Amino acid sequence: GISTHGIGWFPQYVNEQCFKGFKEDWKANVVRLAMYTHENNGYCTDGNKDNLKQLVKDGVAYATNQNLYVIIDWHVLQEQNPNTYKDEAKKFFEEMSKEYKDYTNVIYEVCNEPNGGVSWKEIKSYAEEKEHGNFLKRSNKKRNIFIK
């Protein structure tokens, strides 16, 4: 599969032609939409939330049009601990899981790349809360696939 870099940094690569090339030329079957939460144009800091959400939605549409799986990636890096923006993550994934409840190609990555001084216990607690929280319950979709 293919991963975008930060969609806030390089939004120009979230387009139908790129996704078609991923499928046809690179033989990819999955694309990850890496949305950073903290760094330049981060969803939870200085980025435009509406624009970033629209990029995710556009990316899901392009992936779906190309018969690709798509990973919606909540990308934690600079802030190190996924709990830093826990409330924002909950709201974001509630919205996304409702929007895509009938899609069979959408995968949710609730925390990519925690690092630094964060403990496994903190990461596990965060992930389990997302797994059992309202936004990823089976009531939104018969089968949610998520990476924790």
pLDDT per position as a tens digit, 115-126 = 888 888 888 888
The mean pLDDT value of the chain amounts to 87
Confidence band, pLDDT 50/70/90 cuts, at residue 137: low
Lookup: tokens for 36: 């950073």
Spell 20-52 as b/e; 16+ CB within 10 A means b.
eebbeeeebeebbbbbbbbbebbbbeebeeeeb
Question: What pLDDT does 136 receive?
Answer: 55
- pTM for this predicted structure: 0.89
* Residue 19 to residue 136: CA distance in whole angstroms: 26
Stretch 57-78: mean pLDDT: 96
